[in-house]
Amino acid sequence: MRAATQVFEGGFNDTVLNSQAVFRTLMDAMANPGRVIPVRDLVNAPAPLSPVAASIAATLFDHDATVWCDKAIAGSEAAIGWLKFHTGLELTTNPSDAQFALIRDIPAMPSFDAFAKGTSEYPDRSTTLILQIDGFDGAEELTLGGPGIKDIQTFAPSQLPKMFIDQWTANRGAFPRGIDLIFAGKGALAALPRTTRISKREA
């Protein structure tokens, strides 16, 4: 009974104001790659969805959104039920068909090539990946450059996809095509648009 109740509870208290606040934070993050921006816990979604990841989903997903969820999330009936009830999303089992991807198990996620990169005519027809992580104090510190970054920006998410820098370099090389990343941490988020240059920070 509790699992069924979780599906219907825990959404935004004020859908318009809350979603606008999260959307502004996301736009700020996209305009300032790698900047970690605090965000309040506005929803209470079933595990394994975190409050920040669920808030992003409730803001960006709607009945026109095609979403791919990894096994960690897709395997939770309560989490998928919550997403369907609060967003009306359309689920897909094919990453290349997804407008958005919601990922909890980052080491096991597909390669970036599995997702839609858009076309030269319609580069916006690509997948935005939402990576649910523990935080932004990871052991591997990255150096970022490019549009939206004055000099350099350091960035250290707690989890990264395998062969991240190699994958990202190839992704950036496909510009204007390519995926974009949103990192959902605990009480904060950050973003990496496809234009961002990334390298390992030298010791």
Per-residue pLDDT in tens (0 to 9) along the chain, 203 residues: 445 566 777 788 888 999 999 999 999 999 999 999 999 989 999 999 999 999 999 999 999 999 999 999 999 999 999 999 999 999 999 999 999 999 999 999 999 999 999 999 999 999 999 999 999 999 999 999 999 999 889 999 999 999 999 999 999 999 999 999 999 999 999 999 999 999 987 65
CA gap 169, 185 in Å, rounded: 23
pLDDT at position 9 is: 78
pLDDT at position 1 is: 43
Task: Tell me the three state secondary structure of residue 90.
Answer: strand
**142-145, strands of its sheet edge to edge:** 153-155, 142-145, 197-200
Domains of the chain, earliest start first: 2-200 (3.40.50.11310)
By C-alpha distance, which of 29, 63, 180 is closest to 115? 180
CA gap 25, 40 in Å, rounded: 11
The tally of CA atoms less than 13 A away on the side-chain side of residue 146 is 19
Q: Apex CA 101: angle with CA 100 and CA 106, to 5°? A: 155
User: Which tokens in the block code for residue 97?
Assistant: 């068909």
Task: Quickly list H helices, the chain.
Answer: 2-8, 15-31, 51-60, 71-74, 77-87, 164-173
CA gap 201, 42 in Å, rounded: 34
pLDDT at position 201 is: 72
